[in-house]
């Protein structure tokens, strides 16, 4: 398993361009299954999660060819309908093939995702609403067995604005007969990007960027061959913003839509961060930060995917900060690792109380999940000495070439393959 070593405290300078968004491309790649014609995706990030979902699609008989920065998918020789446990267990987002498989092939066998480090993460909202659309769902020995005579449009009212459930239902609805209405749909920018991708294909979708999305189904044989490039990765962007702030550096982050981070920008400004929004990103300037109280929420609230990174930042902000995690039940796995570096954090249920310290000291630390890994990188940048970070495969799921990007910003970082 790879390890990273970071010499701290680091100073960053220059600019970094974020990759295309993992959480936009994962549902989009699942959506490729809807289309009998070719799909070309541009600038897919080189991430473990992208490799995993591409492996899942090729196991289903999809032909995938890469030509430079283009990846071409051909589903005309499709032959399978099973997403096996060995792939799904490594990535919950595999469940996103369920809707497209049902719409295109009227059957699907997808392994239940199983728990993951940040919580149980059930799929009841996906399944309940696919049933409303005419799917017969059985759960047996860890698999979801789904069949349908043909999906029908339905009114789906989500009890929680689940990102994955919204995406699964949107894709199922494209191939359903009649109109589907999704109420209390998630509002994350990646949903809008998926919607734009589906509309390019020929889907009839209204209400993107609102909590009521209406999709008029049509025969999938009518869909067109398309090309698409996803939005920039806003979570990668906020990670580099906080890397600049925790090292009191001035850098520019480009390649994403700044308004996709409004809640994050507002929170950081409340901490007295000096930020300059540009047309293609954001500039971080020297800042004297103050403590903050914040809780995570569905978009447009403060994103749960930025919670660990904000906590790392707060460990070095003198004063007290209070962070409450409201989306996942176990997303504080980074806390004990940050404490090993000398951070002062007290946990009370789903709330963390952080008291800023003058100094963090290097110590061997271990990644536990994707965003916790990002938090450890941030803390290592601000720690005295050479910090060893273990199990970085978690990090490689969602941060493309992070060592190169940090090195290009002036960080002394090395990776040892063990």
Residues taking part in catalysis: 116
Among 26, 213, 251, 313, binds ligand EPZ (CB under 6 A): 26
Q: Residue 199, class by beta-carbon neighbours within 10 Å (0-12 exposed, 13-18 middle, 19+ buried)? A: middle
Question: Which residue of the chain is nearest ligand EPZ when measured via CB?
Answer: 164
**What CA–CA distance (Å, rounded) separates 224 from 397?**
31
Q: Which is nearer to ligand EPZ, 43 or 408 (CB)?
A: 43
**x/- letters, 162..181, toward ligand EPZ (CB under 6 A):** xxxx----------------
* Coil, strand or helix at 293: strand
Binding of ligand EPZ at residue 122 (CB under 6 A)?
A: yes
Token pair of 404, please? 């190169």
**What CA–CA distance (Å, rounded) separates 207 from 216?**
12
Number of residues that bind ligand EPZ (CB under 6 A): 24
Q: Least distance to ligand EPZ from the beta carbon of 128, Å?
A: 8
Q: Which is nearer to ligand EPZ, 83 or 220 (CB)?
A: 83
Binding of ligand EPZ at residue 239 (CB under 6 A)?
A: no
8 A C-beta contact, residue 197 and residue 231:
no
Q: Which is nearer to ligand EPZ, 328 or 332 (CB)?
A: 328
Q: Least distance to ligand EPZ from the beta carbon of 296, Å?
A: 9
Identify which range of 114-122, 223-231, 255-263, 408-416 contacts ligand EPZ by CB under 6 A: 114-122
Q: Least distance to ligand EPZ from the beta carbon of 306, Å?
A: 9
Q: Least distance to ligand EPZ from the beta carbon of 119, Å?
A: 6
Distances (CA, A) of 353 to 147, 323, 368, 376: 48, 7, 21, 18
8 A C-beta contact, residue 405 and residue 237:
no
Binding of ligand EPZ at residue 131 (CB under 6 A)?
A: no
Q: Least distance to ligand EPZ from the beta carbon of 150, Å?
A: 23
Identify which range of 120-128, 194-202, 224-232, 282-290 contacts ligand EPZ by CB under 6 A: 120-128
Task: Tell me which residue of 232, 168, 240 sits closest to 25, measured CA to CA.
Answer: 232
Strand arrangement of the beta sheet that strand 281-285 belongs to: 13-17, 250-254, 281-285, 274-278
Among 46, 86, 124, 361, binds ligand EPZ (CB under 6 A): 124
**What CA–CA distance (Å, rounded) separates 10 from 411?**
6
**What CA–CA distance (Å, rounded) separates 126 from 159?**
11
Q: Which is nearer to ligand EPZ, 64 or 116 (CB)?
A: 116
Among 33, 93, 170, 265, binds ligand EPZ (CB under 6 A): 93
3-state DSSP: the chain helix, strand, coil percent, rounded to 5? 35, 30, 35
HSE-CB of 196 using CA atoms within 13 angstroms:
13
Binding of ligand EPZ at residue 92 (CB under 6 A)?
A: yes
Site for ligand EPZ in 265-324 (CB under 6 A): 304-305
Among 10, 18, 23, 256, binds ligand EPZ (CB under 6 A): 23
- The residues facing 321 across adjacent strands are 354
Q: Least distance to ligand EPZ from the beta carbon of 166, Å?
A: 8
Q: Which is nearer to ligand EPZ, 165 or 395 (CB)?
A: 165
Kind plus residue range of the DSSP H or E element containing 279? none
Q: Least distance to ligand EPZ from the beta carbon of 329, Å?
A: 7
Q: Which is nearer to ligand EPZ, 49 or 252 (CB)?
A: 49
Among 125, 181, 251, 376, binds ligand EPZ (CB under 6 A): 125
Cis upstream peptide for 279 (omega within 30°):
no
HSE-CB of 408 using CA atoms within 13 angstroms:
12
Binding of ligand EPZ at residue 185 (CB under 6 A)?
A: no
Among 370, 372, 376, 389, binds ligand EPZ (CB under 6 A): 370
φ and ψ at residue 248, rounded to 5 degrees: 45, 50
Q: Which contacts of 272-276 are long-range, i.e. CB under 8 A and separated by 24 or more positions?
A: 273/245, 275/241
- The residues facing 320 across adjacent strands are 355
**What CA–CA distance (Å, rounded) separates 329 from 232?**
28
Q: Which is nearer to ligand EPZ, 119 or 410 (CB)?
A: 119
Residues in touch with ligand EPZ (CB under 6 A): 23, 26, 92-93, 119, 121-126, 160, 162-165, 186, 304-305, 327-328, 370-371, 398
């Amino acid at each position: 398993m790879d390890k990273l070593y970071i010499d701290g405290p680091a100073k960053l300078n220059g600019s970094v361009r974020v990759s295309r968004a993992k959480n936009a491309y994962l549902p989009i790649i699942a959506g490729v299954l809807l289309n009998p014609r070719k799909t070309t995706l541009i600038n897919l990030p080189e991430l473990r999660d992208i490799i995993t979902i591409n492996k899942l699609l090729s196991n289903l008989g999809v032909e995938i060819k890469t030509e430079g920065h283009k990846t071409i998918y051909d589903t005309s020789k499709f032959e399978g309908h099973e997403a096996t446990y060995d792939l799904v267990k490594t990535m919950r987002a595999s469940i996103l093939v369920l809707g497209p498989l049902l719409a295109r092939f009227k059957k699907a066998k997808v392994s239940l995702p199983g728990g993951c480090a940040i919580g149980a993460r059930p799929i009841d909202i996906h399944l309940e609403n696919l049933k409303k659309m005419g799917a017969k769902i059985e759960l047996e020995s860890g698999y979801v067995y789904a069949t349908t005579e043909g999906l029908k449009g339905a009114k789906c009212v989500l009890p929680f604005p689940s990102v994955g459930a919204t995406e699964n239902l949107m894709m199922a609805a494209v191939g359903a007969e009649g109109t589907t209405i999704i109420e209390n749909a998630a509002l994350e920018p990646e949903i809008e990007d998926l919607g734009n991708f589906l509309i390019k294909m020929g889907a009839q979708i209204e209400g993107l960027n609102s909590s009521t999305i209406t999709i008029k189904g049509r025969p999938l044989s009518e869909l067109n061959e398309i090309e698409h490039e996803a939005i920039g990765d806003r979570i990668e962007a906020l990670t580099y913003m906080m890397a600049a702030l925790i090292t009191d550096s001035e850098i520019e982050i480009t390649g994403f839509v700044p308004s996709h981070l409004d809640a994050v920008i507002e929170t950081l400004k409340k901490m007295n961060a000096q930020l300059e929004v540009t047309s293609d990103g954001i500039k971080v300037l020297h800042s004297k930060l103050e403590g903050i109280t914040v809780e995570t929420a569905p978009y447009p609230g403060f994103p749960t995917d930025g919670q660990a990174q904000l906590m790392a930042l707060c460990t070095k902000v003198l004063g007290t900060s209070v962070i409450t995690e409201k989306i996942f039940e176990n997303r504080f796995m980074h806390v004990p690792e940050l404490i090993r570096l000398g951070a002062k954090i007290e946990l009370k249920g789903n709330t963390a109380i952080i008291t800023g310290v003058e100094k963090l000291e290097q110590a061997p630390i271990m990644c536990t999940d994707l965003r916790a890994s990002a938090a450890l990188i941030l803390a290592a940048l601000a720690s005295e000495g050479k910090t060893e970070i273990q199990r970085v495969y978690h990090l490689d799921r969602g941060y493309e070439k992070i060592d190169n990007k940090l090195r290009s910003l002036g960080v002394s970082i090395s990776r040892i393959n063990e």
